[in-house]
Amino acid sequence: MADGRKQEFAVVGKSVPRVDGPPKVTGTPIYTVDMERPGMLHAAILRSTVPHGRIRRVDKSRAEQAEGVVLVVTGEDLKTMPGIDPYFGPAFRDQAILAIDKVRYIGDPIAAVVATRRELAYEALDLIDVEYEELPPVLDPVEAARPGSPLVHEQLRPAKAFADLAEIEPGKATNVCYHFKLRRGDVEQGFAQSAHVFEDWYYSPPAQHMMMEPHAALAWVDSDGVLTVITGSQSPSYVKGSLGAIFGLPQNKVRVMVPLVGGAYGGKLYDKLEPLASLLTFMARRPVKIQLTREEVFITITKHGVVSHVRTGVSQDGKILARKVEVYWDTGAYADIAPRVVHKSGYTSAGAYRVPNIWIDSYCVYTNKPPAGAFRGFGVPQVVWALESQMDMIAEKLGRDPLQFRLENVLLEGDLFATGTPVHSAGLKESLEAVAREIKWEPGVRKAVKPGTKSGVARAKGVACGIKAVITPSISGAIVVMNNDASVNVLTSTVEMGQGSDTALSQIAAEELGVRLQDVRVMHPDTAVTPYDTITAGSRSTYHMGNAIRLAAQEVKRQLFETASDRLEVDPDQLVARDGRIFVAEAPTRGLPIPEVFQARFGARGATLQGQAVFKTYAAPMDHETGQSEKVTEYWFPGATAAEVEVDLETGKVRVVKLVEACDVGRAINPHHCEQQIIGSALISLGQTLFEQMILENGELLNPTLLDYKVLTLKDVPESAVPIVIEVPHKDGPFGAKGVGETGTLSVSAAIGNAVYRATGVRVKELPITPEKVLRGLRAGQ
Amino acid sequence: MRPFKLLDPRSLDEACQMLDRYGEDVKLMSGGTAILILLRQRVFSKPYFINLKAVPGLDGIRDEPGTGLRIGALATLRAVETSPIVRQRAPLITETFRLVANVRVRNSGTLGGNLSHGDYRLDPPAPLLVLGAKAVAVSSRGRNTYELKEFFRGLFETALQPDEILTEVVVPDAPPKAGTAYFKYTSLSETDWPCLGVAALVTPSDGGGTCGELRVAVTSVAERPMLLEHLGPLARGKRLTERLLEELGDAAAERVDPIADARGSEWYKKEMVRVFVRRAVREAARRAGLAAG
């Protein structure tokens, strides 16, 4: 944390206000849901009412006659359309634009109605008759993984869309669409040498992203035959490729544009409404817009429900000797990006500690439920919930302070991760120490509630920590265009979805080019213009796009220096760019304002200089059987949580009094925004810890509205919620920066669970920690 | 949402005629906070709605000596909550109404709509039940007054006839020296529907020190809001000791048949009836100047 070095920077490291703040608070930006096109039609989706079944017959004739209806299309129609491959998916092409032959969950799209008004399209859905032959539904992921279970998918086709998923091969005749394995040391011998072995099941339920803007897409075909889609997507480059593959179009005939996005949290990645909107616009020959209702968002994409079994062996002096983890990921009817979730969370399933003997089996399992995909934290919060709950149970058994027990075992710089990869820039210890300081941690073992205490309030503190790795390999491209007045346009496919990328990337460009923050404008994705970017997700944009922009800006600067060095008669490497001028480092008065450099170079108003760069990261391929790799990730982002809770002993209700979250961000490009990301993600987790869950019965979602699915509101925020920015600079990060979008989600649930245990003696192993579970535990203990 | 036609009656008479004319095809709408959700979810629809807000004069709040508070059915929850007259005459209503949903809902939702909806998860019925409120309804047949304790019949079911319009709620004055309290308990987010709500009214006995009258109502836990009339006799003339509070809680739980949902199982909700009846009675007693325990 080199405060001295920060002084070198003009814009980076400063808590400048958001560049998109004023427009957003004055309500001026246009989001996808606001978009219209002349002649635009609206589509509505008919969805399956059974969890698993063969489609016997779909009769759309009555709907076709309804008022305002332009066309009705079904999966059956897709089968006979020439030149269309109707399946999509980033890992497996397992999802049809509209269900073909089979439906796989309650909510599976069966048919679409296109009408002149949105209400009329929804109205006509009731006129479509569907006959099913119901099949036994597959509902429990552990059961579904067993041989002989009914199959959700009879066969699978890998998508080959991403380098990091290249190794994924589908299992045969099983619902396990991906199995991640990690083997390190000799786990059985480790258990044999252990003084204590702990074994527990944990559960984390499916949950919602709850972005404010629902999924929406508007598609049309331009006069020159270009399929154009405006969509609130986190992955415009992927969507371009996917639409090309589905409709057999050259990549320059697909154009995907993403305006500001009203929140995403992982729920707007890969194909969502874009394939259907495109299909419908081709058929209707008019612009078509689809916008989901909140109820539809609920069944479009979810956070994985996870069942995990953790077995840990420790020595009497508190060393972790062996850990065996078995995790079942309930991925629902379609895999979406789940294999990557299972892979990434799979190799972090042994936790943030030095463990010599590790065995991990992580199963991605199809069931007849709404699909699960990416969610802020990408699966790691679910495994950390299990691991870090057990860490406290171990510490108690050993009579150790849980904080101290963690600090003694936690991974330090250069230690080998479970994958055999040395750890760099992983401020775990720093994060744990910071939260402990802030919460005023009192060392020692738990003070239990006196037996027989039935009323009053019990109060205690808990800690936990977690670590996540960034997706590797991945690619970000950027083009930096400088205008002759020193103003700058940055062309990137990074999506501003509320996380602050417009601001952070502007700061990086301004710093590198030596211009003011307000001189930089980050342009939003338009795949006809902006270069490829893997995804806006996984806490990768600041690092990857930041590096790409920095390199592209250096190319612009090189050209500026080239011209300036002629005029100033000095070597280019003696020049610096700062405050809108190019000048000699040793003699700052010898210099030129940037507009004069342009004048010297072009002599033309409106002239531009361009620089472009592609930033790519590499991973050493993992061994298939052991999960070992010299370099598994480009960087780690560790975090720690401390929570102080009060539990009402009569009701079991938990009130979080104070929540402290510390995350290692590498270098804070914008410290205040880092704090907001840290506390924002911690609060999302707080809601999921205490009350959020999708309740499903026989595949049917029982709480598909915000009336019954409760999210955290302002009234639930602890009186004290403290974000702490830890800076352990990364050697290759832009100015040392890494990412911070997800770190705050990792360990909140476990820290609260541990605090509840320390307050009451009740160990809840199934999220959410509802008052009823706590009260049942209290009663059982009395 | 299916399309519908909104009818604007200019008088109560006209509204009654509309109900008679359209029969099954029409439904009354006031603040719309509940009905619009049902319409949006497409679980309910009617070709016509009568917009009661178009009828002038149904939203008054006044105190009529000898009768009590007269609150027009079209008064918004927020208007009731912030009314100085209500605060003075029935602070229990003020205390309860400020806990309903959020200020946006309270600004739109009306007292009459709230009660007529018959939703079991609402706060307002509890204080009105312990205060002995009456609901006044009119139809083209005439005028009808319902005791509120007989008004709630079941899940989304009230005593109102299809041709009747709830126009007014009459709240008699509380007995002298009464202490009142409302406890709302949410087991999930703070802004959730209640897991349950308990209203209590306690008066000191003439001699002081012991309980005179005790009235308790529970809401949001069973199919309908309930006045638990069997509790009063258990407490009359007795000191409200912790032991008696526990007996009252147990007696309340025995009479309540909870609806299990995400907010708690039947077992849990019964346990919470015990806890919150104790808490509400204890607090009401304290406010009545009776030391509990």
Nearest alpha carbon to residue A455 among A13, A39, A36, A782? A782
* Chain A nearest-CA residue for B45: A123
- Chain B residue numbers with beta carbons less than 8 Å from the beta carbon of A649 are none
Same fold, B5-50 and B61-171: no
Domain co-membership, A553 together with A512: yes
Mutate to test the interface with B, among A208, A775, A778, A782 (most CBs of B within 10 A): A775
Domain co-membership, A717 together with A643: yes
HSE, CB side, 13 Å, CA atoms: give it for residue A300.
25
Percent of chain A with pLDDT over 90: 93
What local confidence, expressed as pLDDT, does residue A1 receive?
36
What local confidence, expressed as pLDDT, does residue A4 receive?
39
Is the pLDDT at B56 greater than 60? The verdict is yes
pLDDT tens digits, residue range A141-153?
A: 999 999 999 999 9
Is the residue at A164 inside a domain?
no
Domain boundaries, chain B: 5-50, 61-171, 179-287
Domain co-membership, A562 together with A538: yes
**What's the whole-number mean pLDDT along residues A559-571?**
97
- Chain B residue numbers with beta carbons less than 8 Å from the beta carbon of A715 are 189-191
Smallest CA–CA distance, residue A708 to chain B, in Å, is 8
Q: Is A687 on the interface with B (CB under 8 A)?
A: yes
Domain co-membership, A579 together with A611: yes
- Beta bridge partners, B200, equal B181, B216
What local confidence, expressed as pLDDT, does residue B151 receive?
98
Domain's final residue, options A272, A298, A324:
A298
Domain co-membership, A277 together with A228: yes
Is the Cβ pair A770, B187 closer than 8 Å? yes
Is the Cβ pair A707, B37 closer than 8 Å? yes
- Chain B residue numbers with beta carbons less than 8 Å from the beta carbon of A690 are 188
End-to-end alpha carbon distance in chain A: 49
Distance, in Å, from the CA atom of A353 to the CA atom of A412, rounded to the nearest integer, reads 9
* Chain B nearest-CA residue for A704: B41
Is the Cβ pair B193, A702 closer than 8 Å? no
Give the DSSP letter string of B66-99: TTEEEEETTSBHHHHHH-HHHHHH-HHHHHHHTT
**What's the whole-number mean pLDDT along residues B181-205?**
96
Nearest alpha carbon to residue A748 among A632, A672, A643? A643
In this prediction the ipTM stands at 0.96
pLDDT tens digits, residue range B97-145?
A: 999 999 999 999 999 999 999 999 999 999 999 999 999 999 999 999 9
Distance, in Å, from the CA atom of A652 to the CA atom of A643, rounded to the nearest integer, reads 17
Q: Which fold has domain B61-171?
A: 3.30.465
Q: Which fold has domain B5-50?
A: 3.30.43
Is the pLDDT at B158 greater than 80? The verdict is yes
| Contact (Cβ atoms closer than 8 angstroms) between residue A328 and residue A361 | no
pLDDT level of residue A414 (50, 70, 90 thresholds): very high
Q: Is A76 on the interface with B (CB under 8 A)?
A: no
This prediction has a pTM of 0.95
Is the Cβ pair A715, B3 closer than 8 Å? no
Smallest CA–CA distance, residue A66 to chain B, in Å, is 14
Is the Cβ pair A123, B2 closer than 8 Å? yes
Distance, in Å, from the CA atom of A599 to the CA atom of A484, rounded to the nearest integer, reads 8
Is the pLDDT at A339 greater than 90? The verdict is yes
Q: Is A131 on the interface with B (CB under 8 A)?
A: no
Which residues fall within 8 angstroms of residue A228, CB to CB, at 6 or more apart? A219, A220, A221, A222, A255, A256, A257
- Chain A residue numbers with beta carbons less than 8 Å from the beta carbon of B193 are 707
Distance, in Å, from the CA atom of A268 to the CA atom of A255, rounded to the nearest integer, reads 18
Domain's final residue, options A298, A318, A334:
A298
SS3 A361: strand
| Contact (Cβ atoms closer than 8 angstroms) between residue A744 and residue A440 | no
Q: What would the two tokens of residue A722 be?
A: 């403290």
Is the residue at A448 inside a domain?
yes
Is the residue at A174 inside a domain?
no
CATH number of the domain bearing residue A761: 3.30.365.10
Q: Is A719 on the interface with B (CB under 8 A)?
A: no
Distance, in Å, from the CA atom of B137 to the CA atom of B160, rounded to the nearest integer, reads 8
Distance, in Å, from the CA atom of B179 to the CA atom of B173, rounded to the nearest integer, reads 13
How many C-beta atoms lie closer than 10 Å to residue A282's C-beta? 16
Q: What would the two tokens of residue A431 be?
A: 């994060």
Taking one residue from A and the other from B, the number of pairs with CB-CB distance under 8 angstroms is 59
Give the DSSP letter string of A630-689: S---S-EEEEEEEEEEEEETTT--EEEEEEEEEEE-SS-SSHHHHHHHHHHHHHHHHHHH
HSE, CB side, 13 Å, CA atoms: give it for residue B236.
7
Domain co-membership, A445 together with A513: no
The per-residue pLDDT of chain A, averaged, comes to: 95
Smallest CA–CA distance, residue A328 to chain B, in Å, is 24
Domain co-membership, A87 together with A72: yes
Distance, in Å, from the CA atom of A31 to the CA atom of A34, rounded to the nearest integer, reads 5
- Chain B residue numbers with beta carbons less than 8 Å from the beta carbon of A718 are none
Which residues fall within 8 angstroms of residue B267, CB to CB, at 6 or more apart? none
Q: What would the two tokens of residue B244 be?
A: 């008696």
Smallest CA–CA distance, residue B159 to chain A, in Å, is 26
What local confidence, expressed as pLDDT, does residue A162 receive?
82
Is the Cβ pair A775, B192 closer than 8 Å? no
Is the Cβ pair A716, B185 closer than 8 Å? no
Is the pLDDT at B77 greater than 90? The verdict is yes
Closest partner CB to B41 (pick from A690, A705, A712): A705
Domain co-membership, A689 together with A674: yes
* CATH classification for the domain delimited by B179-287, as one of 3.10.20.30, 3.90.1150.10, 3.30.390.50, 1.10.10.10: 3.30.390.50
Is the residue at A256 inside a domain?
yes
Q: What would the two tokens of residue A720 be?
A: 């004290």
Is the Cβ pair B189, A691 closer than 8 Å? yes
What local confidence, expressed as pLDDT, does residue A727 receive?
94
Domain co-membership, A488 together with A586: yes
Nearest alpha carbon to residue A162 among A340, A376, A301, A380? A340
Is the Cβ pair B268, A771 closer than 8 Å? yes
- Chain A residue numbers with beta carbons less than 8 Å from the beta carbon of B185 are 651
**What's the whole-number mean pLDDT along residues A243-260?**
97
Domain count, chain A: 3
What local confidence, expressed as pLDDT, does residue A166 receive?
74
Residue A178 CB-density burial (10 A; 0-12 exposed, 13-18 middle, 19+ buried)? buried
Please give the angle made by the CA atoms of A28, A29 and A35, to the nearest 5 degrees.
115
Residue type, A642: A
> Which region, left, alpha or beta, applies to residue A318 given φ > 0 means left and ψ of -120 to 50 means alpha?
left
Domain co-membership, A519 together with A434: no
pLDDT level of residue A3 (50, 70, 90 thresholds): very low
| Contact (Cβ atoms closer than 8 angstroms) between residue A622 and residue A180 | no
Q: How far is CA A173 from the centre of its chain?
A: 30
Q: What is the DSSP letter of A518?
A: G
What local confidence, expressed as pLDDT, does residue A5 receive?
43
What local confidence, expressed as pLDDT, does residue B292 receive?
55
Residue type, A336: D
Nearest alpha carbon to residue A756 among A690, A691, A683, A669? A690
What local confidence, expressed as pLDDT, does residue A6 receive?
42
| Contact (Cβ atoms closer than 8 angstroms) between residue A760 and residue A648 | no
Is the pLDDT at A429 greater than 80? The verdict is yes
Distance, in Å, from the CA atom of A448 to the CA atom of A285, rounded to the nearest integer, reads 69
Domain's final residue, options A273, A298, A323:
A298
Is the Cβ pair B185, A708 closer than 8 Å? no
Is the residue at A158 inside a domain?
no
- Chain B residue numbers with beta carbons less than 8 Å from the beta carbon of A703 are 262
**What's the whole-number mean pLDDT along residues B165-186?**
97
What local confidence, expressed as pLDDT, does residue B291 receive?
73
CATH number of the domain bearing residue A256: 3.90.1170.50
Is the residue at A756 inside a domain?
yes
pLDDT tens digits, residue range B213-255?
A: 999 999 999 999 999 999 999 999 999 999 999 999 999 999 9
Give the DSSP letter string of A367-397: -SS--EE--TTTTHHHHHHHHHHHHHHHHHH
Is the pLDDT at A320 greater than 80? The verdict is yes
| Between B291 and B279, the higher pLDDT residue | B279
Distance, in Å, from the CA atom of A639 to the CA atom of A431, rounded to the nearest integer, reads 6
Domain co-membership, A126 together with A19: no
pLDDT tens digits, residue range A602-648?
A: 998 899 999 999 999 999 999 989 999 999 999 999 999 999 999 99
Q: What would the two tokens of residue A14 be?
A: 């400063």
What local confidence, expressed as pLDDT, does residue A171 receive?
67
Q: What is the DSSP letter of A576?
A: E
Is the residue at A324 inside a domain?
no
| Contact (Cβ atoms closer than 8 angstroms) between residue A269 and residue A233 | yes
- Chain A residue numbers with beta carbons less than 8 Å from the beta carbon of B275 are 650-651
HSE, CB side, 13 Å, CA atoms: give it for residue A411.
31
Q: What is the DSSP letter of A622?
A: P
Q: What would the two tokens of residue A310 be?
A: 């953790």
Q: Name the one residue in this structure whose structure tokens are 């786990």.
A: A187
Closest partner CB to A651 (pick from B41, B185, B193): B185
Domain that holds residue A101: 32-137+210-298
* Chain B nearest-CA residue for A771: B187
- Chain A residue numbers with beta carbons less than 8 Å from the beta carbon of B188 are 690-691, 710, 770
Is the residue at A275 inside a domain?
yes
pLDDT level of residue B293 (50, 70, 90 thresholds): low
> Which region, left, alpha or beta, applies to residue A569 given φ > 0 means left and ψ of -120 to 50 means alpha?
left
Nearest alpha carbon to residue B173 among B68, B72, B91, B275? B68
What local confidence, expressed as pLDDT, does residue B136 receive?
98
